[in-house]
Structure 1
Amino acid sequence: MDGPYTACLGGTETFGRFVGEPFPALLEQRIGRTCLNLGSICCGLEAMSGDETLIELANGAEVCILQVPGAHSLSNDLFRVHPRRNDRFLAPTEMLRGLYPEVDFTEFHFTRHLLGRLHALADARFETVLDQLRNAWSERLQDLIARLQVPVVLLWLRYESGSKSGAPDALGTEPLLVDSHMVSRLRPACAAIVEIPVRASAESHELEDMLFGVLQQPSAEHLIGPATHREISERLYRALMDLS
């Protein structure tokens, strides 16, 4: 790219599904400099860390805004996910089969569905699952940040209630299985961490301001609306000004 720019790396919220102007576009207007939107629908840590072109584009920026991904969206010692659509469950490992020999894994197509079922079995084995996923998330995200040779602003869009994708309440809110302790451990590697509590459009009364077809409404209800994108852009603008 010609000229200085800010890279915005993340998932569905960064991409700005169902909104006319996602927060990278609004931030671009605010700072008067190109904000390259590298967000992608259902893009998690697996896709971000595995795309060398994405890393190269991020490293060409003056600063990289990195949306915190969920801990369920990467391949690990328990299961493999689709390399691009990281919400898709591909196959269990022998470790997971051994941990849950009674489970038929062929019935699962999404990691969230899988984890909800394993949690519903209500025994100590799920703690092993959580430990594996959270450890893998921490290691891979630290590695990704280390590969980014520019200042990184970590953007934690913390859903306050419910879930944008229908996960059982017991699994927590988006980004799934990520808590404040996990994020705070990344602070030394980041130029800044911007934590913003958000609500899905169905709860924030922004649904009528979103752009979607009739059949897409259930999906739109679980995502953030345009007013929230404006708030995110303003918070990021202040964070970038503090760094300058």
Structure 2
Amino acid sequence: MEYYPCRYGASRITFRGPRKSCEGAFAAFLGSTETYGRFVPDPFVAQVERASGLPCVNFGVVNAGPDAFVSDPVVPGLAAAAAHVVIELTGAQNNSNRLYRVHPRRNDRFVKASDTLAALYPEIDFSEHAFTRGLLRTLLDTDAERFALVTAELQAAWTARMKALIALLPAPVTLLWCAEAEPPETLSYAEGEPLGAEPLFVTRAMIDALAPLADDTVVYVRSDAARAAGTDGMTFSDFDAGAAGQLLGAVAHEEIAGLLAPLVARALQAA
């Protein structure tokens, strides 16, 4: 599958193309794997562009957290010039915080534990971990009570970073929740339990804290039809079949586009 990889200005992030002009009226889409449209030939960003008539720039990054955008030297400035910005609500695990640091562009890569995390989990050899999910899986399985302190820190850091990102954007902002289920009210984990589905560790209260800073909040939950369609309409190798099956799918992208297109079209009318 061809993603037409491209870059914008001095940014070191490779985005999905084709490369678009960021002059004149356009909409910017910031997000993670679903915004990027991994394995989806016609992602919702492209569909919104056709339906709304407003050029749409895909700034999605596979496995991104808000760090990928807040720390980038180019994307915030480009997005600030957009007529409308859609921000996918990403998981809280792929974000640097007081416990560990992630790679600035590949946010799912665990880089280093802080002294605080080392003191909290002295029995863990952090050199054995390269990805945030693997690290967190080990922390939960080691001690669920201490893991609650970890998730609380991740949630606080994510909320602060998201507020900082929104503050950089003068244009109307739409927050997008796209997942298998509604935002959870609370989190509770026990040793041996799964970490959960994306966006990991994000609760309704966290979204409510951001809502006053945004113009719209769109909550999309995959429909029965999209779930039944599975990977129909997606393009992937046999090696990637498992990863593709964990994503929302092509039908879900159509449904998300249907929700977002009227909001982006409204921005075109106001431009």
Q: Structure 1 length normalisation: TM-score?
A: 0.91
The verdict on how the C-alpha distance between 1:8 and 1:97 changes in structure 2, with shifts beyond 3 A counting, is same
Q: In the aligned structure 1, how far is the partner of 2:212 from the partner of 2:132?
A: 30
1:182 corresponds in structure 2 to 206
Q: In the aligned structure 1, how far is the partner of 2:39 from the partner of 2:200?
A: 21
2:220 corresponds in structure 1 to 196
Q: In the aligned structure 2, how far is the partner of 1:27 from the partner of 1:198?
A: 18
CA RMSD between the two structures: 2.1
The aligned runs of 1:82-231 (5 Å cut-off) are 82-160=103-181, 170-198=194-222, 203-231=227-255
Q: In the aligned structure 2, how far is the partner of 1:146 from the partner of 1:128?
A: 27
The verdict on how the C-alpha distance between 1:86 and 1:132 changes in structure 2, with shifts beyond 3 A counting, is same
Relative to structure 2, which stretch is displaced further, 194-203 or 35-44? 194-203
Q: In the aligned structure 2, how far is the partner of 1:242 from the partner of 1:27?
A: 12
CA positional deviation for 1:197: 1.1
SS of equivalent to 1:19: coil
Is the contact between residue 201 and residue 221 of structure 1 (CA under 8 Å) also seen in structure 2? no
SS of equivalent to 1:36: strand
Is the contact between residue 200 and residue 223 of structure 1 (CA under 8 Å) also seen in structure 2? no
Give per-residue Cα distances to partners, 1:129-158, cap 9 Å, x unaligned: 111111111111111101111111001112
CA positional deviation for 1:125: 1.1
Unpaired segments ≥5 residues, structure 1:
162-167
Q: In the aligned structure 2, how far is the partner of 1:202 from the partner of 1:169?
A: 26
1:45 corresponds in structure 2 to 66
Q: In the aligned structure 2, how far is the partner of 1:195 from the partner of 1:53?
A: 28
Q: In the aligned structure 2, how far is the partner of 1:172 from the partner of 1:242?
A: 35
The verdict on how the C-alpha distance between 1:145 and 1:109 changes in structure 2, with shifts beyond 3 A counting, is same
Unpaired segments ≥5 residues, structure 2:
1-21, 183-191
Is the contact between residue 84 and residue 171 of structure 2 (CA under 8 Å) also seen in structure 1? yes
Give per-residue Cα distances to partners, 1:213-232, cap 9 Å, x unaligned: 12111111111211100000
Q: Specify which of 6, 10, 24 is matched with residue 3 of structure 1.
A: 24
Is the contact between residue 87 and residue 174 of structure 2 (CA under 8 Å) also seen in structure 1? yes
SS of equivalent to 1:9: strand
Is the contact between residue 200 and residue 221 of structure 1 (CA under 8 Å) also seen in structure 2? no
Q: In the aligned structure 2, how far is the partner of 1:134 from the partner of 1:89?
A: 17
CA positional deviation for 1:7: 0.6
Q: In the aligned structure 2, how far is the partner of 1:196 from the partner of 1:18?
A: 19
Give per-residue Cα distances to partners, 1:3-29, cap 9 Å, x unaligned: 311111111110111011100100001
- Quick one: percent identity of the two aligned structures? 38
Q: In the aligned structure 2, how far is the partner of 1:239 from the partner of 1:31?
A: 8
The verdict on how the C-alpha distance between 1:66 and 1:147 changes in structure 2, with shifts beyond 3 A counting, is same
1:70 corresponds in structure 2 to 91
1:58 corresponds in structure 2 to 79
The verdict on how the C-alpha distance between 1:200 and 1:48 changes in structure 2, with shifts beyond 3 A counting, is farther
Greater share of helix: 1
The verdict on how the C-alpha distance between 1:69 and 1:131 changes in structure 2, with shifts beyond 3 A counting, is same
Is the contact between residue 52 and residue 265 of structure 2 (CA under 8 Å) also seen in structure 1? no
Q: Which amino acid aligns with 2:112?
A: A
Q: Which amino acid aligns with 1:4?
A: A
Q: Which amino acid aligns with 2:258?
A: E
Q: Structure 2 length normalisation: TM-score?
A: 0.82
Q: In the aligned structure 2, how far is the partner of 1:12 from the partner of 1:122?
A: 30
Q: Which amino acid aligns with 1:76?
A: N
